[in-house]
Amino acid sequence: MHPNERWVLLLTLALISSVVAVDLWTDTSQGAPAWHVWVEGTAGALALAGALYLLRQMFLLRGALRHQQQATEAWRQQSEQWRAQSKAYLAGLSSMIDQQLTTWGLTPSEREVAFLLLKGMSLKEIATIRGTSEKTARVQSMAVYAKSGLAGRSELAAFFLEDLLPAADAAVGLSSDH
């Protein structure tokens, strides 16, 4: 339900409740039958209960939204803190990867392709980013693999990332902790 609809419904129920209260006062002062007063009183009480229920739900929803915003902000701050802390390490890793790619004798274009391959981009995405054809990206990726002596993208990624991640038996232990 849209917030404006909630307010309209809340105000409508509150108005109905008020009109019924005035009518009950008039009816009792004019000697209306008890069953009539009871029926109108029940209708007014139900309208008031509905208004109070809606008001409560609106406050609960607002509190939940505030809590969610605080949690989102905390996650954003943690993410920024992690990025800031890891920035120096990532810059060093990037530099070390570039040194290894140079050691393998890769051209600047091949080094760029190698970095994009490590980022997980497809040959089509690499071609688009570099403004070349997909065939050129494929040829350059094959040159990366040939000069490095690696069989493909998986081995290229493993060459640089394997030591950064826990061993398979340690990774199994980590996943069971969660």
pTM passes above 0.75:
no
Q: Give the model's pLDDT for residue 2.
A: 76
- Domain spans, the chain: 1-85, 104-165
Percent helix / strand / coil, the chain, rounded to 5: 85, 0, 15
Task: Single out the residue of 129, 162, 160 nearest to residue 144, CA to CA.
Answer: 160
Any idea which fold 104-165 has?
Arc Repressor Mutant, subunit A (1.10.10)
Average pLDDT over all residues of the chain: 89
Q: Summarize pLDDT for 36-76 with one digit per residue, the tens.
A: 889 999 998 998 898 889 889 989 999 999 999 999 999 99
DSSP string spanning the chain? --HHHHHHHHHHHHHHHHHHHHHHHHHHHTT--HHHHHHHHHHHHHHHHHHHHHHHHHHHHHHHHHHHHHHHHHHHHHHHHHHHHHHHHHHHHHHHHHHHHHHTT--HHHHHHHHHHHTT--HHHHHHHHTS-HHHHHHHHHHHHHHHT--SHHHHHHHHHGGGSPPHHHHHHHHHH-
Q: Give the model's pLDDT for residue 88.
A: 79
CA distance 64 to 107: 55
- Residue 95 in tokens: 């530099």
Give the number of other CB atoms < 10 A from CB of residue 70. Answer: 10
**Averaged in consecutive runs of 10 residues, what is the pLDDT profile of the chain (178 residues)?**
81 89 89 90 90 90 94 95 85 90 96 96 97 97 97 93 73 56
